[in-house]
Amino acid sequence: MDDLKLGFLMFLKSLPFMFLYAILIVGVLYFVNETAAETLNLLICFFVLPILMINFFRKQTIESYFEFSILKHVVGNLGDYLVTMIKQYALSIIFMILIFLLVGIPALYVTGSIFVANFYGRRVETKRSQEF
């Protein structure tokens, strides 16, 4: 029950970011240029959202979704991040295949962000502990 409450609270806390993101991409950019909006959305979903989501899950504050300074860790370690995301998508594809066998459904949700969380721990947490 505690996990259910935590999940619901995290969902509620993430709503402001989701609404702003939807308004920006769907409400503004699609009316200006649909192709540019789709390209920007793809880039944001690949390079920005995963690390911001892990930061949000780690800190559990609404403000953590808007800590764009964390993106310096992605830019500064772009090769490592690309490998991380390739592994993330490869794992998702494997689990999508396993879903047909009803084995991958729990694994897909449990390990949904495992590689991005690992990247966060190696690059963000390590950097912060060195600063102190």
In 3D space, the residue among 39, 112, 116, 51 whose CA is nearest the CA of residue 83 turns out to be 116
**How far apart are the C-alpha atoms of 34 and 25, rounded to whole Å?**
9
The residue ranges of the chain whose pLDDT is under 50 are none
- Residue ranges in 23-124 assigned as alpha helix (H): 30-32, 34-43, 49-59, 71-76, 78-99, 104-110, 114-120
The pLDDT of residue 104 is 64
Whether the CB-CB separation of 50 and 113 falls below 8 Å is answered with: yes
Please tell me the predicted confidence (pLDDT) of residue 132. Answer: 61
Give the pLDDT score at 70. 92
Please count the CA atoms within 13 angstroms of the CA of 22 that sit on its side-chain side: 6
Q: What is the pLDDT of residue 131?
A: 67
Measured CA to CA, the distance from residue 83 to residue 80 in angstroms comes to 5
Count other C-beta atoms under 10 Å from residue 67's C-beta: 14
Which of 57, 86, 83, 88 has the alpha carbon at shortest distance from 70? Answer: 57
Rounded distance, CA 32 to CA 128, Å? 39
Residue 31: per-residue pLDDT: 75
